[in-house]
Amino acid sequence: MSELAVKQVSQGVRSPVGREGVLDVAAKLFREQGYGSVSLRKIAEAAGIKAGSLYYHFGSKDEIVAAVLDVGIQVVHDSMRQAVSALPEGTGAEASLHAAIGAHLRALLDVSDYTSANVRIFGQVPQSVRDANLPTRRAYEAEWDALLSRLQQEGALKSDVDIRHLRLMLIGALNATLDWFDPARGSAEALSRTYADVFLNGILERQDT
Amino acid sequence: MSELAVKQVSQGVRSPVGREGVLDVAAKLFREQGYGSVSLRKIAEAAGIKAGSLYYHFGSKDEIVAAVLDVGIQVVHDSMRQAVSALPEGTGAEASLHAAIGAHLRALLDVSDYTSANVRIFGQVPQSVRDANLPTRRAYEAEWDALLSRLQQEGALKSDVDIRHLRLMLIGALNATLDWFDPARGSAEALSRTYADVFLNGILERQDT
DNA sequence: GTCTATAGTCGGATAGAC
DNA sequence: GTCTATCCGACTATAGAC
């Protein structure tokens, strides 16, 4: 028991420890610098340990990256699902889509280094790592397709738009905000209103207003 | 004169040669594999020469990447400007925007490895290389802002949308197609119609149809 | 669970022959 | 204009002490 206590104290000096702490700093670095620029040495240094010590927690760099990618999707998926399912029954298409868009943008821009790291580095990681992340991605995409299909069946969305295509357009547009979003210029909350409005109503001036 | 002739023949064996040929294969590789995965050795091999020989044409890897990035923007900029300026005077907002969107998507998805390489790797290259590409980018962005502002002043676009913001949304959405576009599933031409329609009119089912 | 030390690989870049 | 040969640094990963 005294041995355990000593161990815990001796770890207490460093900021983030353990497998989870390593993933936290890795996600942050990947988000900020991309995949290629972040070496195991950088991750270790940010976690307050030496590079070799990472191999106690992980078997390879790929394993670290894969874990970050998976968590990134899980976070945004949970956020979006909960936001939509929390709406009162009979909520209109506008409000439903706005809730989903808002949840996605908040996870991406406000909440999670994991989600933003995923969006930023997915196209940079080795093929095997991308493949490992695909099932998790598919589940999130299915959640969006279900929402959009429901709205279309209710007659709220144009009947001639392809759901898969619409989802690709929407998520692609939302993820692209990562490249230029600046919290000093406006909130993710305000952004989500703009995106929902543009996608729902377009940008054309209308006579019926 | 005979010496020149001999030189030209002796080069004729390899597929792409000279500075331009190197840039062509580099753009293709960057487009396909991203920045980090493409070494000078790979570029040299694809060009049919040895890695060291690249330094006759370029001073560094950064110089190659910077050249690819600049050409990439110039191509899409020229394409978009020409498409819009070729329209008859008095062309409506719908047709103008559709022309600009179509030109951007064609350059990105059909025509140019340089443009697609730019979109794909811009976020992966060293900061100094990004900075070098900024002036060229700014010029292209200004072209879009001018078009959108004109349409807004004509009363065709909603008066409350911020032009810069709208341009970021639009170009971001268009560039994101690079991640999933599959020519076997549809043409860039068809895509541009869909994007123009969604951005102009939205996806909501309307009473006035 | 973290350390030091190091093996092994691959990258960008340079020098000098042809 | 291209070659061969090579330097040097950085990276992932491993081995063994503590």
**A103 or A6: which carries more pLDDT confidence?**
A103
Alpha-carbon distance of B32 to A35, in angstroms, equals 17
Q: Which two tokens stand for residue B20?
A: 């331009």
Task: Report pLDDT digits (tens) over B28-40.
Answer: 999 999 999 999 9
Indicate the average pLDDT of chain A: 93
Yes or no, beta carbons of B172 and A168 under 8 Å apart: no
Whether CB of B6 is under 7 Å from strand D: the answer is no
Residue B46 pLDDT exceeds 60: yes
Selection from B140, B114, B170 nearest residue A195 by Cα: B170
Residue B209 pLDDT exceeds 70: no
- Find the CB nearest B203 among A158, A172, A205: A158
Strand partners, A157: B204
Q: Helix H segments across chain B? A: 2-11, 18-33, 40-47, 54-57, 61-85, 93-106, 113-121, 127-153, 163-176, 188-201
Residue A11 pLDDT exceeds 50: no
Band of residue B9 on the pLDDT scale cut at 50, 70, 90: very low
Domain total for chain B?
Answer: 1
Alpha-carbon distance of B169 to B141, in angstroms, equals 12
**% of chain B surpassing 70 pLDDT:** 91
Q: Which residues contact A166 (CB under 8 A, 6 or more apart)?
A: A148, A157, B198, B203
Question: Taking residues B110-139, what's their average pLDDT?
Answer: 98
Residue A160 pLDDT exceeds 70: yes
Q: Which two tokens stand for residue B8?
A: 């030209």
Does the beta carbon of B60 lie under 8 angstroms from any beta carbon of chain A? no
Q: Residue A67 domain-assigned? A: yes
Report the distance from CA of residue B121 to the C1' of nucleotide D15 in Å, as an integer: 38
Task: Report pLDDT digits (tens) over B60-81.
Answer: 999 999 999 999 999 999 999 9
Alpha-carbon distance of B64 to B71, in angstroms, equals 11
Name the minimum distance, in Å, from the CA of B37 to any CA of chain A: 8
Q: Is the dihedral of CA A110, A112, A118, A121 positive or negative?
A: positive
Residue B198 pLDDT exceeds 80: yes
- Residue B10's pLDDT is 42
Strand partners, B204: A157
Residue A94 pLDDT exceeds 70: yes
Residue with CA nearest C1' of nucleotide C15? B52
Report the distance from CA of residue B127 to the C1' of nucleotide C8 in Å, as an integer: 30
Residue B141 pLDDT exceeds 50: yes
Does the beta carbon of A124 lie under 8 angstroms from any beta carbon of chain B? yes
Does the beta carbon of A96 lie under 8 angstroms from any beta carbon of chain B? no
Band of residue A208 on the pLDDT scale cut at 50, 70, 90: low
Residue A161 pLDDT exceeds 60: yes
- Residue A17's pLDDT is 78
Report the distance from CA of residue A19 to the C1' of nucleotide C6 in Å, as an integer: 25
Task: Report pLDDT digits (tens) over A17-49.
Answer: 799 999 999 999 999 999 999 999 999 999 999
- Residue B14's pLDDT is 52
Buried b (16+ CB within 10 A) or exposed e, A8-41: eeeeeeeeeeeeebbbbbbbbbbbebbbebbebe
Residues of A in contact with B195 (CB under 8 A): 169
Which has the minimum average pLDDT: A163-172, A182-191, B16-25, B83-92?
B16-25
Alpha-carbon distance of B183 to B204, in angstroms, equals 27
Task: Report pLDDT digits (tens) over A103-119.
Answer: 999 999 999 999 999 99
Q: Residue B209 domain-assigned? A: no
Q: Residue A206 domain-assigned? A: no
User: Is-contact A144 A170, C-beta < 8 A?
Assistant: yes
Residues of A in contact with B205 (CB under 8 A): 155-159
Footprint of strand C on the protein (CB under 7 A): A 7, 11, 14, 17-18, 44, 48-53, 56-57; B 38-42, 51-52, 55, 59-62
- Residue A49's pLDDT is 97
**% of chain A surpassing 90 pLDDT:** 90
Q: Residue B180 domain-assigned? A: yes
Alpha-carbon distance of A186 to B47, in angstroms, equals 47
Name the minimum distance, in Å, from the CA of B107 to any CA of chain A: 18
Which residue range forms the structural domain that includes residue A176?
A: 3-201
- Residue B17's pLDDT is 78
Whether CB of A126 is under 7 Å from strand D: the answer is no
Nucleotide nearest to B18 (CA to C1'): D1
- Residue A173's pLDDT is 98
Alpha-carbon distance of A54 to A34, in angstroms, equals 19
- CATH number of the domain where residue A168 is located: 1.10.357.10
Q: Residue B127 domain-assigned? A: yes
User: Is-contact A50 A14, C-beta < 8 A?
Assistant: no
Q: Residue B207 domain-assigned? A: no
- Residue B208's pLDDT is 63
Task: Report pLDDT digits (tens) over A53-64.
Answer: 999 999 999 999
- Residue A16's pLDDT is 61
- Residue B16's pLDDT is 61
